[in-house]
Amino acid sequence: MKKIIAIGTTLTFLVSAVPAFASHLSSNDIDIEVKNKDTTVINTVNTSASTGGNQANGGSGGGNGGVILTGNAWATSGVLNDVNSTVVKVKTDCGCKGDVDVKVENKDTTVTNNVTTKAKTGYNDANGGSGSHHHHGGSNGGDGGTIVTGDADALATVVNVVNSTVVRVRR
C-alpha cells in the first residue's frame, strides 16, 4: 500500500508598526510625523496534499489487483500581512490646550500574494492485467484492483491590512 499525505501550513507575518507616546506641559504643541515609503511585500506560498498516485493493477496471467485504502488529503495555507500600520497614542496629564498634530504618510506600498493550495486524491490506476495464452485456446487477464480514497480538502486564507492608522488622544 502506498500512502502519501503531505500537510503544509505557512503563516507569514510582516509587521511594521510605529507607536508614539507623548506627554507635554502647559500649552506646548505635540507634533508626530510617521513616514512609510517604498514598502514591498511578496508572499509566495505553495501547499499541497495528495493521497493519489496509487496502483492496484491486475497482473499478467490471471493475477488480480490488490486493494488500496487511503486517508484524507488536507492542504491549508494562511497568509497574514500587517504592513505599515501606525498606532499613535498621546496622553496628557494636564489640562493643556495645545495642538496635537499627527501626520502619517504612506507612499508606494505594494503587497503581492501568490498562493497555491492543492489537495488531490487522483492519478490512481486499477487496471486489469494482460492475458496469457493457455493450451486450450483461452486467455485470462487478472482483474483490476480496488482503490478507495478519502476526502481532498483545500483551504487558503489571505488577510492583508495595509497602511492602517489609529490615532488616540487623551487629555
Q: Are 51 and 37 in contact (CB under 8 A)?
A: no
Q: Is residue 22 part of a domain?
A: yes
What are the φ and ψ backbone dihedral angles of 60, each rounded to 5 degrees?
-75, 155
Q: Is residue 151 part of a domain?
A: yes
DSSP string, 1-46: ----------EE--EEEEEEEE---TT--EEEEEEEEEEEEEEEEE
Q: Is residue 25 part of a domain?
A: yes
Domain residues for 36?
11-130+141-170
Q: What is the pLDDT of residues 11-42, one digit of tens each?
A: 333 333 444 444 444 557 788 899 999 999 99
Tally of domains within the chain: 1
More confident residue, 139 or 11: 139
| pTM exceeds 0.85, yes or no | no
Question: What is the total residue count of the chain?
Answer: 171
- What element of type H or E holds 115? strand 100-120
Q: Is residue 2 part of a domain?
A: no
Q: What is the pLDDT of residues 35-78, one digit of tens each?
A: 999 999 999 999 999 998 898 888 877 788 889 999 999 999 99
Q: Is residue 136 part of a domain?
A: no
- pLDDT confidence tier of residue 134, bands split at 50, 70 and 90: low
Q: Is residue 15 part of a domain?
A: yes
Q: Is residue 57 part of a domain?
A: yes
Look up residue 119 and give its three cell numbers.
Answer: 489537495
Q: Are 143 and 67 in contact (CB under 8 A)?
A: no
Q: Is residue 1 part of a domain?
A: no
